């Protein structure tokens, strides 16, 4: 099961670049958030494979401050927006 999940992730990742995903706008903190997110997923996958529950919970507790920090910096207003939903600053309500 884990091998199939890994294979699907690799296929998805390769399809991102094959379809010309625009990754040029990703900031350093956005990249760090992505790396941290993958690390958390790696801890969860390691739990499925070998690590027991108590050690997994301690590891997740230890990396939670880093995760919260990278989420705060990686998903800030400058880097995370949907252009179709931007309100113009000159428009009055």
pLDDT tens for each residue of 32-76: 888 898 888 888 888 888 888 888 899 999 999 999 998 888 777
Residue 10 falls within a domain, yes or no?
no
Residue 55 falls within a domain, yes or no?
yes
Number of domains in the chain: 1
| pLDDT score at 8 | 85
Residue 89 falls within a domain, yes or no?
no
pLDDT in tens, 2-31: 678 778 878 887 887 777 666 667 778 888
Residue 69 falls within a domain, yes or no?
yes
Residue 18 falls within a domain, yes or no?
no
Residue 11 falls within a domain, yes or no?
no
Domain containing residue 31:
23-77
- Is residue 51 classed exposed, middle or buried when 0-12, 13-18 and 19+ CB atoms within 10 A define those classes? middle
Residue 53 and residue 40: Cα distance in Å, rounded?
A: 14
Residue 47 falls within a domain, yes or no?
yes
């Amino acid at each position: 099961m884990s091998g199939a999940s890994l294979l699907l992730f690799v296929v998805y990742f390769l399809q991102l670049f094959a379809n010309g995903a625009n990754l040029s706008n990703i900031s350093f903190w956005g990249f760090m958030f992505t790396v941290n997110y993958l690390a958390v997923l790696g801890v969860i996958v390691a739990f499925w494979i070998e690590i027991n529950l108590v050690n997994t919970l301690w590891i997740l507790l230890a990396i939670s401050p880093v995760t919260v920090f990278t989420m705060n910096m990686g998903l800030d207003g400058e880097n995370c927006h949907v252009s179709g939903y931007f309100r113009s600053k000159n428009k009055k309500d």
